[in-house]
Structure 1
Amino acid sequence: MKRLYIGLLLLVYTASFSQEIALVKYSGGGDWYANPTSLPNLIKYCNTNINTKIKPKPATVEPSSPDLFSYPFVHMTGHGNVVFSEADVSNLRNYLTSGGFLHIDDNYGMDQYIRKEIKKIFPNNDLVEIPANHQIFQKPYLFSSGLPKIHEHDGKRPQAFGIFIDNRLVLLYTFECDLGDGWEDQEVHNDPFEVREKALKMGANIMNYIFNN
């Protein structure tokens, strides 16, 4: 009975207080700071529509920082080069294998660099394409064809790749999609409401997966 009581107290504590997510400030010269309105808008959408309690303003964290472990979700984006140091690699690996989640959204131009850096973190794990029947595409919003297309670049289909550890998705890499652009303020890209809503719903599915698995 005492153990049950303590467990209930922890559940109430977790449900009553906000959690914080963060943007990764990486090295290499890429524009890690791209899409400044995207995460605040995603947070607002999730808090309103799927009952999350995320602090309105995301933090910024470097991949080698011990603060990384304070965030259940961290996000990376950009158009250019990414370089992870040995300290970055070690810290990211420890973070992801101990319950953390990294979402990398290629903002166009990041792909050739980030794949090599992901391989540093998980040299024995390949990025695998996530099928449309994975739960991240199922709830709370159904994406029956998998990752939606938000912005057009090379005419390629959008793809979601992942790294799985013990059947848990720990790293999500979204390619040829530009989810973050869809999360930005409407006037930034002049996307119609339907496109922005589709991007925000997919973002909400990511958050739902993190906070419920």
Structure 2
Amino acid sequence: MEVWRSKSFLVVAGLGVLLGGTTLAHDSPSLPRHTETVEEASGQAYGGYIGDRNFVISRGNGLHEFYFTRAIYSSWSRGYGRRGRGSWATDWPKADVQFLWGLKRLTNIDAYDFDNPVTLDNPDLRRYPFLYMLEVGAMQLTPPEVEGLRDYLTAGGFLFVDDFWGTYEWQVFEHEIYKVLPSHEIVELPLDHPLFSNFYVIEEILQVPNVGNGRSGYGTWEQDGYVPHVRAIFDDDGRLLVLINWNTDLGDAWEWAEDPWYPLTYSNFAYQMAVNAIIYAMSH
């Protein structure tokens, strides 16, 4: 399996815990300061949608085996989320709910019908084995968020990352995820990995464009993100902790799957990737 490492950030050579516990150190990129914290996102900025930062699962009756859980995280960007909230809220809640409609039609998973955004420092995060995080090129995690996400992943959680593009956004994400998992490598996930064949057989990684590019046919890329990648982080025992979809926008394909002008090829692929990831996460 090919190991991927950003040379611009790597300042201590080595293979981390795989070769005796060496921790990789990374320089800090020059990032804007926080303009939104978790407290702002889950307090007044919520506009009453959830209100209490520790309030989870507010709708529907009974418990379900799967909740499409979206990570609320601190960022320096307001993004394109609901009512101008931070980048965590991009495409929310439509993408989440519309994906769930498809998931329930395509599989027999007992899924909760609604979106389920949860802060990274919420102790109830461990209740949900699958966590969706997007627009991570604007992410700036606070110490409680770093600790919360690390605890979640080491306890058995699975993180699915989506919708960030180009060199700069990769560097931001890499810097932030190495706060969480400092001794773990990021690797390319080969197409012969079981995740690509556990439900749908995926033989090619498509670049899924945002809705504007998809409708116009102008191009599928953003910034300098011309080639899509699926990368991964494993723990020392080979368990897949983080699945990273870079230079692609699966969330827009779920959100606009009903749009007759958005190409069906991209929506199909976006659903297939996420369904496979969920089944893999739920069965491992």
Q: Under a length normalisation based on structure 2, what TM-score does the superposition of the two structures give?
A: 0.64
Name the structure 1 match of 2:163: 106
Name the structure 2 match of 1:74: 131
CA distance in 2, matches of 1:66, 1:86: 15
One-letter identity of the residue aligned with 2:133: M
Note the 1:1-213 alignment, pairs <5 A: 17-30=64-77, 31-36=87-92, 37-78=94-135, 80-108=137-165, 110-145=169-204, 147-151=205-209, 152-153=220-221, 154=224, 156-165=226-235, 166-186=237-257, 190-213=261-284
CA distance in 1, matches of 2:195, 2:241: 12
SS of the aligned residue for 2:138 comes to coil
Contact 2:68 2:131 in 1 (8 A): yes
CA distance in 1, matches of 2:75, 2:238: 31
SS of the aligned residue for 1:143 comes to coil
CA distance in 1, matches of 2:159, 2:147: 14
* CA shift in 2, pair 1:23/1:17, >3 Å: closer
- Alpha-carbon offset, residue 88 of structure 1: 1.2
CA distance in 2, matches of 1:38, 1:179: 9
Which structure has the larger Rg? 2
Contact 1:21 1:58 in 2 (8 A): yes
CA distance in 2, matches of 1:46, 1:104: 18
Q: Which has the higher contact order (CA 8 A, sep 6+)?
A: 1
Render the CA deviation track for 1:55-93: whole Å, top value 9, x for unaligned: 011211111111211211111112742111121111111
Name the structure 1 match of 2:32: none
Runs of 4+ in 1 over 4 A off after TM superposition: none
CA distance in 2, matches of 1:75, 1:174: 11
* CA shift in 2, pair 1:208/1:115, >3 Å: same
Render the CA deviation track for 1:90-146: whole Å, top value 9, x for unaligned: 11111101111111113436423211110101111111111111111112111123x
SS of the aligned residue for 2:88 comes to coil
Contact 1:158 1:176 in 2 (8 A): yes
One-letter identity of the residue aligned with 1:132: L
Contact 1:77 1:105 in 2 (8 A): yes
Where do 5+ consecutive residues of structure 1 fail to align? 1-15
SS of the aligned residue for 1:27 comes to coil
Name the structure 2 match of 1:4: none
Q: Under a length normalisation based on structure 1, what TM-score does the superposition of the two structures give?
A: 0.84
CA distance in 2, matches of 1:77, 1:54: 21
| Root-mean-square deviation (Å) | 2.0
How many residues of Structure 1 are paired with residues of Structure 2 in the alignment? 197
Where do 5+ consecutive residues of structure 2 fail to align? 1-62, 78-86, 210-219
Contact 1:42 1:204 in 2 (8 A): no
One-letter identity of the residue aligned with 2:206: P
Q: Which has the higher helix share?
A: 1
CA distance in 2, matches of 1:71, 1:104: 15
Q: State the identity %.
A: 29
